[in-house]
Amino acid sequence: MSAPFFKHGLFGEEASLIVAFAIGIGFGFFLERAGFGSARKLTAQFYLTDLAVFKVMFTAIVTAMLGVTYLGWMGFLDLSQVNLVPTHLWPQIAGGLILGVGFVIGGYCPGTSVAAMATGRVDAVLYALGV
Amino acid sequence: MTSTTDPQGAMRPAEPYMNPYLAGIGLGLVLLASFVIMGRGLGASGAFNATVAYLELKVVPQHLAANPYLSEYVGDGSSHPLKAWLVFEVLGVFVGALLSGLLAGRVRRTVEKGPRVSTRARLAAAFAGGSLMGFGAHLARGCTSGQALTGGALLNVGSWAFMMMVFAGAYAVARFFRWQWR
């Protein structure tokens, strides 16, 4: 077991912030590449005119899931050291519903609104202020 | 192609977006890298909360003290609330998106909306949607990034329930808000 690197003390808190910035750049880059800096493109998912949200999200989930599973099997990644979001089913169900409604009205989710602001969308600034 | 109300839009045509499956693989690999390097996934709403907590600490500290959810982001005061992993990650998201947008000629100041909708109405809807989103993310303790993407990849039951509910909520009301894009 040699990963997660951070949990094995390969680097400290300060360096982890640089890692955060680098990972964020990758995250933002692919969000924008996919067209997720556009509220019109994002909400088209909910009018069934463009299913990109579905395709990108589930491809990403499956890619990461396969990676985590294989690296776990190979004994490279210690899965017990990967943080899990605690399950509180009812708040997650209620929060999900409200969030979905907010997504349709506002046109973004918090992460994509940052990508939208970066590409100059004023409506995303108002959205982020709402959050 | 993005449609834009900005007159500069005519200067340089925006490049088409990436194939969604390729972009998904790219996004998945970034998420995987985060698991391997950090032992944690991605997030976004947490950075918004940290920013709000910091502003409240500066302006209305007594209001912050009465809010245990936000107070968590400040902690015991031993470190700066903005010196947090998610805050740096979200700064990276901004830079990464800007980079991708610049490379593709997609950065321009605009309000994204349908041609028949006033700017004011679209901005009001964006703000209202953002507020609802903030409330929902507060309840679920995470947003599309932290819950659906990260928890989904780890096969977290609550995160999958969350994800289904996001789509359910969105599809249920979508037809009432389509006017924004017409």
pLDDT in tens, B110-163: 999 999 999 999 999 999 999 999 999 999 988 888 899 999 999 999 999 999
Predicted local confidence at residue A29, as pLDDT: 96
pLDDT band at B1 (very low <50, low <70, confident <90, very high): very low
- At B12 the pLDDT is 65
What is the C-alpha to C-alpha distance for residues B89 and A23, in angstroms, rounded to an integer?
6
List pLDDT tens digits, range A31-67.
999 999 999 999 999 999 999 999 999 999 999 999 9
Asked whether the CA dihedral B46, B47, B48, B52 is positive or negative, the reply is: positive
Q: Select from A5, A28, A56 the Cβ nearest to the Cβ of B97.
A: A28
Q: Could you report the per-residue pLDDT of B10-19, keeping only the tens digit for each?
A: 456 788 999 9
The residue among A6, A11, A17, A32 with the most chain B CBs within 10 A of its CB, best to mutate, is A32
In the predicted structure, residue A124 carries a pLDDT above the cut 70: yes
With CB atoms and an 8 Å threshold, state whether B173 touches A105.
yes
B11 interfaces chain A, CB cutoff of 8 Å: no
**What is the band of B60 on the pLDDT scale with cuts at 50, 70, 90?**
confident
B172 touches chain A (CB under 8 A): yes
For A80-91, what is each residue's pLDDT tens digit? 899 888 888 999
**pLDDT of amino acid A65:** 95
Residue of B25, B92, B180 with shortest CB distance to A63: B25
Spatial separation of the C-alpha atoms in residues A42 and A47, rounded to whole Å: 10
Higher pLDDT, B71 or A66: A66
At A96 the pLDDT is 94
E strand map for A47-88: none
Helix then strand then coil, % of chain B, to nearest 5: 70, 0, 30
Predicted local distance difference test score (pLDDT) of residue A33 = 96
Q: Do A98 and B169 lie within an 8 Å CB cutoff?
A: yes
pLDDT band at B2, cuts 50/70/90?
A: very low
Whether pLDDT at A2 is above 90: no
- Average pLDDT of chain B is 89
For residue B3, is pLDDT > 70?
no
Predicted pLDDT at B13? 77
Residue A21 confidence (pLDDT): 95
How far apart, in whole angstroms, are the C-alpha atoms of residue B99 and residue A80?
35
Please give the pLDDT value at position B38.
94
pLDDT at B9: 46
Question: In whole angstroms, what separates CA B117 from the centre of its chain?
Answer: 24
Please tell me the predicted confidence (pLDDT) of residue A83: 84
B58 touches chain A (CB under 8 A): no
Kindly state the percentage of chain A with pLDDT values over 90: 79
Q: What is the mean pLDDT of residues B54-80?
A: 84
How far, in Å, CA of B137 to CA of A6, rounded?
27
Give the tokens for residue B77: 């005061």
Q: Is the pLDDT of residue B7 over 70?
A: no
Q: Which residues of B touch A118 (CB under 8 A)?
A: 93-98, 101, 107
User: Å from A62 to nearest chain B CA?
Assistant: 7
ipTM above 0.85, yes or no: yes
